[in-house]
Amino acid sequence: MEPPVNQKELVMEDNLPCTSSRARPNHCHGKQIFKTSKLGFQLLDLPEDMLCKILSELPLKEVIRTSVLSSKWRYVRTINPKLRFDGMTMGSNRSVYGSKQRTQEFIQNVNATLKQHNGMFVEDFEVKFGLHSELVIHLDNWVRFVAASRTKNLAFDLVPTGFRGRYVRYLFPFELLDYGSTLRLQRIQLGFVHIELPSQFSGFPNLRKLDLHLVRATTKDINVLSSCSSLEWLSMVRCHLDDELKVDLPLPRLLYLCVADSMLTGIKFNAMNLKTFVYKGWRYSLEIRSLDLKNAHLNFFDRISVEDALTILPTVLSRVKNLNLQIQTTLQMPTMLENTSKFSQLRYLVLELTMNCRDSGNILSLASYLGAAPFVEKFELHSGPSSLSTEARRSAAVGGDEKVGEVLGVEDAERRLEGQGPGGAARCGRATGCRIERRRASSAFGTPRWAVR
């Protein structure tokens, strides 16, 4: 039988002083206090696919820094399936973004990383760097890498910080993409690129998302979308067609279409399942065939009378359920219009109008919008005086260096159009919720109330 333990001695042993301020020693005065043991689990013990998933969520700069943890990490980071190169974050602190030194550093870093990934599968490949003449030959090589690495998602964002007055874009070498590459690509984002497709180019059968920003192309080249039968999301911001945006064949899976601040003469789409349509620009011919259009956001630059709006829009958007209309309007009649076309399924209407003060006596004609929407349940009217001429609005729209895709987008608008946004309690006509607000115009187009992403 073991001798009894003196509790007082135990307390004394627990309070023995340690000789180190950083860690207690294993032994003190010949008696063991605690044992140290190695961790039973280390990050490198995770399966390779899980490690790749972890690394894919980190910025490339952080992924490269992991190589100092262990020699094994140098191999793990080379199998990262997502490569994102951003010139704003890559490079030394001594170089300035856009300078020749930063461009050289960026090229060297990208080429060194691609050399380590040669022959490996890369799911995402993204390059974000302002177009520079020294980049062109390397961009071609990086497209070859995309074709060889079986990439699914491709992004070339080459928009310079100051692009006004720069008309030369990067001619994207579609001829370097073999048939297998066009089959695998599911998402493409191109910025500051010129599109000129080879004569035998067959399109992207499995492409789901296409994002074009400051892209130059022709109607013939854009018509390649006819062969993109899987396309679900299409955005064109500040693009230059100088012709009609037309797709000959139906796009049965297209759910979202955005065209903003682009040089074109009209839009013609057959997308029976389209849910959201966003347009910002001059009033051109619109022909959108959709059986289930849920949200429409229209921002016209030129002046539109109530008569014109209610003659054209109900025909083009006959099945729309939620409509946000931002226009500079003229009120020519003091009374409601008779025999206007009808929005047969419209439930939520938001009008954001800039008007000439001289038309204030004809304000009653705005009620014509309610007459054209017999089933509307919620109506919002935001109005303010017109502050700029049409020519000034044209200049403001074409100029500026901001990316419109960051000013115009969908999330906030859909929240409002689906009834989640602010709504008043007052009643107006048949509308169950009506909000009428008079605001002061703070810019050429008033304050943007929704954004397209």
Q: So what's the pLDDT on residue 218? A: 92
Q: So what's the pLDDT on residue 80? A: 60
Of residues 232 and 76, more confidence is placed in: 232
Measured CA to CA in angstroms, residue 338 lies from 306, 308, 310, 313, 371 at distances of: 12, 13, 11, 16, 8
pLDDT band per the 50, 70, 90 thresholds, residue 96: confident
147 close to 178: Cβ distance less than 8 angstroms: yes
Measure the CA–CA gap between 77 and 197, rounded to whole angstroms.
35
Q: So what's the pLDDT on residue 46? A: 67
Residue 354 forms beta bridges with which residues?
Answer: 328, 384
Mean pLDDT within 100-106: 89
Residue 435 clears pLDDT 70, i.e. is over it: no
pLDDT band per the 50, 70, 90 thresholds, residue 444: very low
Tokens linked to 336: 């409601």
Residue 446 clears pLDDT 50, i.e. is over it: no
Q: So what's the pLDDT on residue 352? A: 92
Q: So what's the pLDDT on residue 345? A: 95
Instruction: Quick: pLDDT tens for 362-408.
Output: 778 888 898 999 999 999 988 877 544 444 444 444 444 333 333 23
Q: So what's the pLDDT on residue 342? A: 92
Strands 187-191 and 31-32: unpaired
Q: So what's the pLDDT on residue 91? A: 66
Q: So what's the pLDDT on residue 257? A: 97
Of residues 63 and 162, more confidence is placed in: 162
Residue 287 forms beta bridges with which residues?
Answer: 268
Which of the 8 DSSP states describes residue 176?
A: G
Q: Is 169 helix (H, G, I), strand (E, B) or coil?
A: coil
Which of the 8 DSSP states describes residue 52?
A: H
329 close to 306: Cβ distance less than 8 angstroms: yes
pTM: 0.72
Residue 419 clears pLDDT 50, i.e. is over it: no
Measure the CA–CA gap between 243 and 258, rounded to whole angstroms.
17
Tokens linked to 247: 């797709």
Q: So what's the pLDDT on residue 60? A: 56
pLDDT band per the 50, 70, 90 thresholds, residue 346: very high
Q: Which of 254, 161, 261 is nearest to 212 (CA)?
A: 261
Sequence-separated (6 or more) residues with CB below 8 Å from residue 6: none
Q: So what's the pLDDT on residue 451? A: 27
